[in-house]
């Protein structure tokens, strides 16, 4: 921060509206945390699950096929012929 505010706040917590609440003492911070937890509980309570007769797009876990990892390796290069054995000549062209 280029120009920090001149305050003594050591604690902060979300305020439930997209911002934060700052506190100078632990007692005030704990009060703000309790307020946040009440707000959080209200927000979770408002999020209702879909009705039982509403179809869902997600397949049940047992119906989802399991994927397998495929690991492919490069085949080893052909070993060069031994030094004491000359390579076989190519067949003549016809």
Read off the tokens for 67.
Answer: 């994927």
Count Cβ atoms below 10 Å from residue 21 Cβ, excluding itself: 19
Residue 25, domain CATH: 3.30.160.60
Phi, psi of 77, deg, nearest 5? -70, 150
pLDDT in tens, 33-75: 999 999 888 888 887 666 666 666 665 666 666 666 667 777 7
In a domain, 7, yes or no: yes
Phi, psi of 37, deg, nearest 5? -65, -35
Average pLDDT, the chain: 78
pTM over 0.85: no
In a domain, 11, yes or no: yes
* Domain that residue 12 falls in: 1-47
In a domain, 55, yes or no: no
Q: What pLDDT does residue 63 have?
A: 62
User: How many structural domains comprise the chain?
Assistant: 1
In a domain, 23, yes or no: yes
């Amino acid at each position: 921060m280029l120009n920090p505010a001149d305050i003594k706040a050591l604690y902060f917590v979300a305020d439930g509206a997209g911002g934060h609440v700052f506190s100078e003492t632990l007692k005030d911070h704990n009060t703000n945390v309790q307020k946040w937890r009440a707000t959080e509980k209200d927000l979770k309570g408002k999020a209702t699950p879909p009705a039982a007769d509403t179809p869902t797009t997600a397949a049940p876990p047992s119906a989802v096929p399991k994927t397998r990892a495929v690991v492919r390796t490069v085949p080893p290069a052909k070993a060069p012929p031994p030094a004491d054995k000359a390579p076989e000549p190519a067949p003549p062209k016809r």
